[in-house]
Structure 1
């Protein structure tokens, strides 16, 4: 057996799906479709596909830029485009080589700002529904060789994850929030702190929002196991995996 430390939970969920598939065997295409059909439309202005196609930026960077602007607006900051570009470049560089553009066209500024404003409105909507405070970068605890990380936003006990995609949320998106819940539950068992109770998958590009109650999610995807049994199975898998 091999040991490996410091792996990001997002990377595990997206690049090593077998780990989560073994823990949540019920996370099937049918369940993904079930949750996607439950998506609500938020009262925001969706960004048309043709506007996105007209962008002079790489699409991943365009939406990383929008996320950076939205995050700063939620923090009540008033960032310049140069500052937002630097934030977006730094964030993308965690996962792959990112090239910072020399300039942002007026059209790309309009698109990024629209998505950013949608993001802020949707986060505030979730917080209002929970009657709770909201914020950025909630901590995701580590576990054994899995490194700690951070989510996108939170509202009370609801984790908020943002995906600026053209279509529906994918199985990888659901695996990602599943491992975030699982890591929070593992930490809660150890420390007595609270776990994430629910999650909102949010697409500020289209205005779609999927609300997930984690107790229901576990019943649907956990293969009939209790939360403690799921944690035991996860612990056993993590113990036996040493590298990938």
Structure 2
């Protein structure tokens, strides 16, 4: 499915991953993209990478053309505390548009009230969307149409895995997959450091660590086996892996990850207040 004209308000790391992934997959044509950049540096990045897109430094250019005039989809890719000022801008007319927010913690009701209508979708993507391996979830207001849902599923599905959830589950999604890449990058870095400590060259250790994480994730996804079963399959009696697992359990790695997800979800709820 080819998406209609889209305006992105923002343009930071998440927008670059989310929108950039769609462009790379051919779902969105850059000539049908308008970016309202919050800073000159952000604007330069988009101009350099996607020169065919239309750039604006505000919601209205000097000639009075609204950034939303030609768009059917508006993506609010800004920090949660910026949502209010964006929606309060009298020049930001989103009437008749599908409004998609990727701001963590800001409820559908707040966005609907600010946008002046109820065709609103909340999305929690993650940065691996840029390489087509995203894990995204979305929740919709009641007035969203079936076409709107098809657009959202096409957008998110083009850059990875997508699931529709109830709004009260989005904070948990933020804790698991929204913030999750950072946890995994930390694990990859630590595995590589361990490899270096054991005598491997840095690049070899990093490549092995990254591929190991990718392979393990693919095993979980493609086999349908519980990760505990796959873990047990690697742990031979008296072997190297079970010795390593004992160290991980002694250092409460499992508990730390559970607590990290719970704290990220809690923080997402705090941002709504």
TM-score bracket for this pair, using the shorter chain length: under 0.3
TM-score, normalised relative to structure 2? 0.23
Identify the structure with bigger relative contact order (alpha carbons < 8 Å, sequence gap 6+).
Answer: 1
Q: TM-score w.r.t. structure 1 length?
A: 0.24
Q: Which structure has the larger Rg over C-alpha atoms?
A: 2
